[in-house]
Structure 1
Amino acid sequence: RRLAHQSVAVSFLASGGAPPLLKPTSVAPMSQFDEWPSRSGVDERAQNVKVVVDDTSLATVVSRIKAWEFVLLRPFLAVASVMMVWLFVGAVVFLNTLQDPCTEIERRNATHLWNEEQCHSVTYAMALYYSVQCGFSVGFGLLVEEANGARWYTIFHGFCGLTIMAAGMTLFLLRPGGRLGKYVAGEDDDEDADGDGIPDRLEGPLLARWARMFFRRLMLEMPFVLLALTFTSAVVFQSIYHGWSFTTSCYFAFFALSTGGLQGPGGTSDAEMLFTAFFLLIGIPLFGAAMSRVVDWLLDKYVRAVRSSERLLSRQKRPFVRQSRRCLSPGRTRTRGTHTASHFGPCGFSGKSTCSRRSSSSSRRASTA
C-alpha cells in the first residue's frame, strides 16, 4: 500500500500536480487521476477526504466519551447522590440530638484541655462532622448523643454509611477501575490512525510515547495519588491551624484515614469540623481503595512465585517420568523395587536388572527375527 501511494505521488509531482490524499483502506487506480486536469480538482477531493477523516475521529471521540460515562459517571452520580442524602439528613438529625460540648467537657473533667472559644453550642458544622465520623466508624469520641433513641439512630446511620462506602468502592473505585484500565489499554493498543498495520503506541516521537505511558499509569494508580494529596492536606492544615508538630499531624491523618481515631481533632470550631468532615469523607474510601490495590499486588506476586516454582518442579520431574514409563510396562503389577524408584533410581534395585534383562532379551528377539 505504501509503495502504491509513493508511486502515485511521484507521478503527480513529475507532471506538475499535487499528490492526492488517498484513503488508507483502498488504493485508487491510475485512470481515476487522469480525470483531474487542474489543481482545484485535487484540492476539492482532498477536502472531501479530510471531512471523512474528521467525521471518523469525531465518532471515535463520542464513543470514548460514552464508554467513560458508562464506566465512571453513572455509578459515581448514583453513589454520590445517595451519600449526600445520607450525610445531610444525618446532620439535621444530629443537630438536634447531640449534647452541648461544654457538658461533655465538664463530665470528663477536662476543662484544662479546652479554651473558652471551643466551648459553645452545637452548630451545623459539628453535626455534619459527627454524621461523617460515626457513619465511617472513626470513633474520635469528641461529641456524644443525649438520649438512647439518638444512639439507636447513630447505629443505623453508621450501618448505612458503611454500606454506601462499600458499594461506592466496589462500583466506582475497584471494578470500574480495572475495566477502565483494560478499556484504555485496549484502545491504545489497537489504535492505528494511519492504517499501516502498526499501532500508534509503537510509532511517533519518543516523548509522545512516554507521555502516553505516563498518563495510562497515572490513571491506573489514581487512588494512590489522590490519597497522598489528601494526607498531605491534613498534615499541612493541622500544622498551620493548630500549630501541631509534623509527627502529631501525620499521626492524626493516618489514624483518621484508617478509622482508628487515636488522635482527635484539635477543637470544635467550624473550620476544624468542616475540614475534618470532608477529609474523612474523601480520604477513607481512597485509603480503602489503595489498600486493596496493595493487597492485589502482593497476591499477584505470590501467585507468580507459586506458578514459577511449579513450572520448575515440572521440568525437573520430566526425565524421571519418561524413564519410569519406559521401564514399567502398563498394566503390570509394580514390585517392591519399583516402589523405591524415587530413592534408588527410576527402576529400583530389582527393577533395574529386570529392565536391563528385558531390554536385552527384546534385542535378541529382534535380531533373530
Structure 2
Amino acid sequence: MTPSMTRSATPSILPAWVLRRPHWPLVALHVPLTVQAPVYSIIGMEGRPSAPLIMIPAAAALGALQLRHSLAAARGERPAGWRWSYAALLLLAYVPVIWIGANWQAMGILALASTVMLLRPRTALPVCAAQMLVPVTIEIKSVMGASLLEIVTMMIYATVIPPLFATALVGGARLVRLVNELYATRTELAATAVGEERVRVSRDLHDLLGQSLSAISLKGDLALRLLAKDAAAARGEVESLTGVAREALRGVRAIARDEHAVSLRTEIEGAAALLGAAGVDTEFDVADLPPLPGPAQNALAWAIREGTTNLLRHSEAQTCSITLSRHNGTVRLEIVNDGVRGVAAPGSGLAGVGERARAVSGSSATTVRDGRFRLSVEVPEEAL
C-alpha cells in the first residue's frame, strides 16, 4: 500500500490513545459529578454536615450505576436489567434529599442523564420535567425571604445547571460512540485499501509477466531452433530475450511502487512483434488512433497486452485482427483470433481487463463463435 493510500484511508484528528480507549475520558467526566454532592454534604455547604460513612458508599453506588448506563449508551444500547438499575439510581438520587437536603440535589444530574439515555424521547421529556421539580422546590424553600436578585440567581441555577451537566454526560457518551464508529470505519477503510492494493499488484503482475514470460518462451524456442542453422540469428534472439527479461524486471519494480505506466502505441507495437515471432498472421486497423487521456489509454493498452497473452496461451491461432475504432465519443477495441481450444471460463487476466474498463466507466465482453474468440473493450474518450 502506498503512503498516500495509507494517509487517505486512515485520517484522524484525535490522538491515537483516544481512538483506542475512548471510554476513559467518559469515566473521568463522571468523577467530579459523583464526588461533589458527598463533599457538599460532608462539609455542610448548605445546611448541617452529613455522615461520611453513609454519603460515600451511596455516592459510589450512584456513580457506578450512572457509569454503567453511560458506557452502554456509548455502545448504542441499554444495559441488561436497565429498569432495575434505573430504579435504584432514582432512589439513590432523590430519597436521600429528604433528610440531607440541598447538599444532595446535585445527584439529580445523574438521574437526568440516565433518563435521557434509557427512556424513549416521548417518555423521557415528562420524566425529566418531573425530576426538575426537585431542585426547583428545594431552591424555593431556601430563598424564602431573600432578595429578588438572590431568588432569580438561585432559580436560574436550579433550572439551568442540572440540565447542562446532564447534557454533558449524554454528549460524552454519544461522543464515545462516534469515536468508536470512527475507529471502526478507519480500520475498515485501511483494510479495504490494503485489499485494493493487493488486487492491483496481483492484476498488474499477472498481465505484465504473462506477456513477458510468453515472449521469453517463444524467443527461447526460436533461438534453440536457429542455433544449429543460423548462430547469428540465434544470438540475436537470445539478446532480444534478455532485453524482454530486463524490461519485465523493471516493470515488476515499477508495479511495486505503483509507478508502472503503459502506452497504447507501445503495446500495439509489442503485440505486433510478439505475434509475428509466434507465427500469427496479424492484421492491425489502428490508423485512426485518437489522442486519449491517461486512464482510457491505460485500460486499452492493458487490454491489448492481456488479449495478446491470452491468444498465445489459450489458442492455436493462425490469424488475428486488432481493431481500434471511434463512435459517438467511445473508443472500441476488438481482438479477434481463430484457433480456439474448446470453451474455457474467463481467467483472472480477462477479469482484470473488465475491472480496468469499468474503472473508467467502460465495459468489456468476450464471445466465442465458429472457432473464433472475440475480446471487445469500450471506453469513453474522455475517461477520467
| TM-score class, shorter | under 0.3
- Structure 1 or 2: larger helix share? 1
TM-score, with normalisation over the residues of structure 1?
Answer: 0.27
